[in-house]
Structure formats: C-alpha cells, structure tokens
Amino acid sequence: MGQSVITTSIRCIEHGTLSQKQDVLAVEEPLEISIDGRNISITMRTPGNDEELAAGFLFSEGILRDPGQVAEIAITGENRVNVVLASAASVDLARLDRHFYTSSSCGVCGKTSIQALETAGCPVIPRDRPMLAPATISQLPEKLRASQQVFDSTGGLHAAGLFDSGGNLADVREDVGRHNAVDKLIGAQFLRGRLPLDSYVLMLSGRASFELVQKAVMAGIGAVVAVGAPSSLAVDMAEQFGITLIGFARGERFNVYSGEFRLPLGEATDRSTGDLAAVPHR
C-alpha cells in the first residue's frame, strides 16, 4: 500500500524574507478498480483503505448490494485493486455505462438520479429514528476535526465521520477527494455488514453536494451534517428520502435544510426580520 503523505522542500516567504523549509503533502494517485479483472473505474485518491474505497464506490453505484457478493478484495499491483465476486453473485455492470454525468467535484463520475434511487428501492428513512440534540450537532465539527490525523500534518484532506445520535464517533476516513472519503467510510461499514445506518449521522468536513447525499441515501444514513453549504439538488434528495440535512455547522449555529422533525426545536422570532426562526428548547 502506498503512503498517504510525502515530505518535500519548499521556499517560504515571511515578512519579505526567503527561507527553505520542509513541508508535508497529502499524496494523490490514481486507483484502478476492477471486478473479476475487468476495469471498472479509475479515481484519484489518497492511498490507504483502498479495499474499502472500492467496496464503497461499487455499493454507492448500486453494483454491490450485499457483502456476501464479495469473495475477496485484493491489491493486485501498485494502485490497483480487484474485487473478486462470490461464485453465486450476479451484478449489473451495465449500471456504470447507463449512469454517467459530469460532477462539479470529481469530473466524470457514475450517477444514479433521484428517480433511479427510488426504482432501486432505496428506503425513506423512518421518522421515528433517534432525535438529534442541537448541542450534540454543534460538537460534531470539532470532534471530526480532532479525529483527522493526516490533516494535522498536511492541511490538505477531506474527512467523513460516522457518529451515533449521542455524538459518539463510530468511524472516520480521510482522503484528498471528499467523495472518496465517504466511499471509504461507507465501504468499511458495508464490508462489516453494518448497513443501513438510519440511526447514524454522516459528518462532512466540506460542503454537501448531490453525490455525497446520494451516497448517504444508498447507505440508509439518517442525517447528514456539513461544515459547508448543501446544493439545491442535495436538499431535494434529502427531502425525498427523509434525511435530516444540516449545513454551515459551525460552533453553536447551523442551518437545517430538511428533516427538522428529528430535532427538538421550538420557535422564536428572528429579531432582525420579525420572522419565526427555529431555536432549541432551553
């Protein structure tokens, strides 16, 4: 397995003075994903947890549905991983040919539309899943940041964390690509037979794009919290599948875009506009 960071010499200018220093960079290299020797995809990623990345990608694209379909995931060479299917497994590889689009975050990626997700039988998250206390949500960004070991040395990786409804960290993955970080995280849970995750929260270190919420839908995740903004299509998808979607989670303040029924909230008047605004009970 390749290394996730490298050290390089840089020139640093500070207060007009030039000096030479050592800096640590996050590694970005291509990974070729194959199924039974057939090349399926090439993605740019940070080396590490490549087996989970392959499993998560194939699950998110609807190719794999159950860990029992997988006999083995093997590293077959530098930057190559091969998924060996179980003898009785049947997969629809044509899905990757039928659903392609240009993504704002990763170029050309596989895509299943909202209608395709409904056709695939992705369930709506039940409304009776655990409530999320505002105080718990407010703690998630810092807890995710504290778990980012590689980010501490590079400052250059996205993170995806899985938390229970009490705010306890269950798992975390890092990668130079935000979609890869989520695939690694979901892939790990898929291989352990832990899906769906309707009582868990997916915490994102950046924005919540359509493709990231789509991955949450596939994994049956009940809530998505992002440090940044969601896209309009991400909000549409979250509403369609009953996901609580929260953006701009910074400190004690955050915006709820869908699924507010999972938060114990009251209403208060926004003093700046006179409109009603959701605030936590005290």
With a CB cutoff of 8 Å and minimum separation 6, the contacts of 81 are 31, 32, 33, 34, 50, 51, 53, 54, 73, 74, 75
Is 5 in contact with 154 (CB distance < 8 Å)? yes
Residue 179 CA to residue 82 CA, distance in Å, equals 20
Cis check: omega of the bond before 126, within 30 degrees of 0: no
Which one of 12, 106, 109, 122 is the catalytic residue?
A: 106
Residue 47 CA to residue 112 CA, distance in Å, equals 26
Token representation of residue 209: 């794009």
Residue 27 CA to residue 154 CA, distance in Å, equals 10
Residue 219 CA to residue 199 CA, distance in Å, equals 11
With a CB cutoff of 8 Å and minimum separation 6, the contacts of 111 are 99, 100, 101, 103, 211, 214
Q: Which residues of 156-181 are buried (b: 16+ CB within 10 A; e: fewer)?
A: bbbbbbbbebebeeebbbbbbbbbbb
Tell me if residue 168 falls in helix, strand or coil.
Answer: coil
Residue 186 CA to residue 59 CA, distance in Å, equals 8
106 belongs to the catalytic site: yes
Token representation of residue 249: 């989670």
Tell me if residue 67 falls in helix, strand or coil.
Answer: helix
Which residues are annotated as catalytic?
106
